C-alpha cells in the first residue's frame, strides 16, 4: 500500500470482515477508518504543513495496524500490545471503550512513533512534529465524540465514572494527549537508535503493561465494569454501525 486510497480499501475490507464474524476488533477498525478518511480529506484541502509527507506518514501508520491484524489472523505473532488487543476482542465482558482503548494504546503508544521516524528517515525528526500533533488531534476529536455519546451504546456507562472515584485513570481517563506526548518522546528515541529491534521490543513490553491494566482494571472497577456491561449492546455489528455514526 502506497496511498491513502489503498489503505481505505483495506480498512473497508477489515470492517466488513469484522461485521461478518462479529469480531470486536471492528470497534477500533471503524474508528480508525474514520481517522484515515479525515486525514485524506485534510490532505485534499491542504490542511497540513506538508501534505504529500502526511500521506506517507498516514500509510506507514495504518500499515502497522493492518500488518498486525493480518499476522494475527494468520495465526502468527504481531507485537505483544496488538496481540493483547486482538485476543481481548474475544472477551464479551469487556466494555466497548476498553476495546477501543486497547487498539488506541497499541497504535498511538507504539506504532505512531515508529511511523513518524520511518517517514523522516535520513532527516531531522523535529520537522514532522506539527503534522504529528495534527493527526493526534483528529483522533482525540473522534474519541471525545464517542465518549460524549457512548450512552447510546452503553446506557449506564456514565454511572461508572463517579462510582469509581478516580480509582483507575487508565480506563476512565485514557488521554490521547498523554499518549501523544509519550509517542513523540519515543519517536525521538527510536529515530536516534540504530538498534531498532531493541527499541520496538522494549517499548512494546512497556505498552503491553498498559494493555493489561485496561483488560484487568482491578477488583472494584472490574465489578463496576460488569454491571455497566449488562446494559451495553450485545450485537457487535449493530455497535459498529453506531460507532460509525458517532465518528462522522
Residues 194-243: pLDDT tens digits? Answer: 999 999 999 999 999 999 988 987 776 677 777 777 778 889 999 999 99
Q: Which three cell numbers stand for residue 178?
A: 498523554
pLDDT at 175: 66
Residue ranges in the chain assigned as alpha helix (H) = 4-21, 25-44, 51-73, 80-88, 96-106, 113-119, 129-148, 157-164, 169-172, 176-192, 196-215, 219-231, 236-246
pLDDT band at 166 (very low <50, low <70, confident <90, very high): low
Sequence-ordered list of residues with C-beta below 8 angstroms from that of 210, at least 6 positions apart, any chain: 81, 105, 109, 170
pLDDT band at 39 (very low <50, low <70, confident <90, very high): very high
Q: What is the mean pLDDT of the chain?
A: 89
Cβ atoms of residues 139 and 109 within 8 Å: no
User: Has residue 168 got a pLDDT over 60?
Assistant: no
pLDDT at 169: 46
When divided into structural domains, the chain yields a total of 1
pLDDT band at 141 (very low <50, low <70, confident <90, very high): confident
pLDDT at 116: 97
Burial of 245 (0-12, 13-18, 19+ CB in 10 A): exposed
> Percent of the chain scored above 90 by pLDDT?
67
Q: Which of 176, 186, 61, 63 is nearest to 113 (CA)?
A: 186
User: Has residue 159 got a pLDDT over 60?
Assistant: yes
- Please give the Cα distance from 28 to 85 (Å, whole number): 10
Q: How many residues does the chain have?
A: 248
Task: Give residue-wise pLDDT tens across range 114-136.
Answer: 999 999 999 999 999 999 999 88
pLDDT at 233: 80
Report, as an integer, the average pLDDT of 136-151.
Answer: 81
Cβ atoms of residues 206 and 129 within 8 Å: no
Q: Which of 87, 85, 121 is nearest to 105 (CA)?
A: 85
pLDDT at 165: 55
Domain that holds residue 52: 4-246
User: Has residue 189 got a pLDDT over 60?
Assistant: yes
pLDDT at 153: 85
pLDDT band at 137 (very low <50, low <70, confident <90, very high): confident
Burial of 198 (0-12, 13-18, 19+ CB in 10 A): exposed
Instruction: Name the phi and psi angles at 8, rounded to 5.
Output: -65, -35
CA 48 to chain centre: 21
Report, as an integer, the average pLDDT of 50-57.
Answer: 97
Amino acid at each position: 500500500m502506497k496511498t491513502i486510497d489503498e489503505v481505505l480499501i483495506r480498512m473497508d475490507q477489515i470492517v466488513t470482515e469484522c461485521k461478518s464474524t462479529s469480531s470486536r476488533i471492528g470497534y477500533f477498525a471503524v474508528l480508525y477508518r474514520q481517522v484515515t478518511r479525515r486525514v485524506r480529506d485534510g490532505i485534499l484541502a491542504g490542511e497540513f504543513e506538508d501534505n504529500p509527507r502526511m500521506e506517507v506518514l498516514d500509510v506507514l501508520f495504518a500499515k502497522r495496524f493492518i500488518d498486525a491484524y493480518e499476522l494475527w489472523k494468520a495465526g502468527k505473532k504481531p507485537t505483544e500490545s496488538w496481540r493483547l488487543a486482538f485476543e481481548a476482542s474475544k472477551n464479551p465482558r469487556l466494555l466497548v471503550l476498553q476495546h477501543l482503548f486497547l487498539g488506541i494504546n497499541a497504535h498511538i503508544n507504539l506504532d505512531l512513533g515508529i511511523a513518524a521516524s520511518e517517514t523522516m528517515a535520513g532527516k531531522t525528526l523535529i520537522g514532522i512534529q506539527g503534522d504529528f500533533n495534527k493527526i493526534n488531534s483528529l483522533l482525540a476529536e473522534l474519541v471525545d465524540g464517542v465518549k460524549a455519546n457512548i450512552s447510546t451504546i452503553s446506557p449506564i456507562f456514565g454511572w461508572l465514572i463517579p462510582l469509581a472515584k478516580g480509582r483507575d485513570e487508565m480506563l476512565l481517563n485514557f488521554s490521547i494527549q498523554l499518549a501523544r506526548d509519550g509517542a513523540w518522546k519515543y519517536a525521538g528515541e527510536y529515530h536516534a537508535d540504530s538498534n531498532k529491534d531493541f527499541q520496538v521490543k522494549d517499548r512494546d513490553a512497556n505498552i503491553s503493561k498498559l494493555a493489561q491494566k485496561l483488560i484487568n482494571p482491578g477488583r472494584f472497577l472490574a465489578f463496576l465494569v460488569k454491571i455497566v456491561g449488562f446494559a451495553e449492546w450485545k450485537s457487535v455489528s449493530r455497535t459498529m454501525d453506531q460507532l460509525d455514526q458517532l465518528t462522522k
